[in-house]
Amino acid sequence: MSMRTRYEGSFYSVKGILYRIELLQEGFMGNASTVAFGSAPLEIEWTETDKLEPVQSSKATLTLFSDNDRQFVNLYTVKAGDIRLDE
């Protein structure tokens, strides 16, 4: 199976930079839905690692605005690796 865009949207940073976000899901077969973001749309946290480490891991928290109850129910229980965030 392949990953396809399930949700997409964009927002401006506090510096006025436009960011376009895509949430891809393994096995998704429909058309992408446009989403709105909360007041703090994206937060990236970097773990403390040695600066010489070749891979610096991070964690992204994306805040979505839901138009109705259970709009994102399909994101509640997904297997690790089935969702990807592209920017």
Domains of the chain by residue range: 3-86
pLDDT in tens, 26-57: 988 999 999 999 889 999 998 888 888 888 88
Q: 78 forms bridges with which residues in the sheet? A: none
Please give the model's pTM, rounded to 2 decimal places. 0.77
- pLDDT-above-70 percentage for the chain: 99
Contact 35, 66 (CB under 8 A): no
Q: What is the pLDDT of residue 1?
A: 66
Q: What is the pLDDT of residue 76?
A: 81
Q: Which residues contact 62 (CB under 8 A, 6 or more apart)?
A: 21, 23, 37, 41, 42, 85
